[in-house]
Amino acid sequence: MPARSAASAASDAEDLLRGANLRVTRPRVSVLTAVSDNPHADTDQLIGAVRADLGDVSHQAVYDVLRVLTAAGLVRRIEPAGSVARYESRVGDNHHHLVCRSCGVIADVDCAVGETPCLTAADGLGFVIDEAEVTYWGLCPACSSAAAIATSST
């Protein structure tokens, strides 16, 4: 898929903000674009991307925007065990994640059995379930290849 232009990315972000009845501001557009362009980025990575776009912006401003975007459902916050919070713009489809135990890379994976059957718990205990988080842990292809090479050479 071809890379989108900065103007196109900003326009998309503005449309999403308006659709969520949020005021369109430069920091919100920049953070939303940064999350979209850097799936599973942590706040430090996002702050770097926003600063590259806007210049000097405070950590608190980025944290505040991430909080607003998450509350509005435009951004999803994930926090795999042992990891800092990470953000993604893929929302509303209840997908899951693969996490490499070695290098920490995170990848999206669709629900294993289709639509969203993982939202049907064996016993929901009266809860109205609207989201399920499944995290698969293992080694990514690069790390598993490196582990195999290291094992065979010893």
Residue 12 lies in a domain: yes
Question: How does pLDDT run across 12-23, given as a tens digit for each residue?
Answer: 999 999 999 999
Question: How does pLDDT run across 12-64, given as a tens digit for each residue?
Answer: 999 999 999 999 999 999 999 999 999 999 999 999 999 999 999 999 999 99
Q: Among 39, 60, 61, 57, which residue's Cα sits nearest to residue 48?
A: 57
CATH code, domain carrying 62:
1.10.10.10
Query: What is the predicted pLDDT for the residue at 8?
Result: 82
For the chain, the domain total comes to: 2
28, 17 contact by CB (below 8 A): yes
- Is 115 a residue whose pLDDT tops 60? no
Residue 11 lies in a domain: yes
Last residue of a domain, one of 52, 78, 104: 78
Give the integer Cα–Cα distance in Å for 5 and 10. Answer: 9
Is the pTM here over 0.85, yes or no?
A: no
Residue 1 lies in a domain: no
What percent of the chain clears pLDDT 90, i.e. is strictly above it?
62
Question: How does pLDDT run across 69-88, given as a tens digit for each residue?
Answer: 999 999 999 998 888 999 99
Tokens 């900003």 belong to 10
Length of the chain, in residues: 154
Residue 86 lies in a domain: no
In terms of domains, do 11 and 67 share one? yes
Query: What is the predicted pLDDT for the residue at 116?
Result: 59
In terms of domains, do 15 and 73 share one? yes
Tokens 């989201």 belong to 131
In terms of domains, do 51 and 100 share one? no
Query: What is the predicted pLDDT for the residue at 44?
Result: 97
- Is 110 a residue whose pLDDT tops 90? no
At residue 4 the predicted structure's pLDDT band, cuts being 50, 70 and 90, is: low
In terms of domains, do 125 and 67 share one? no
Residue span of the structural domain in which 48 resides: 6-78
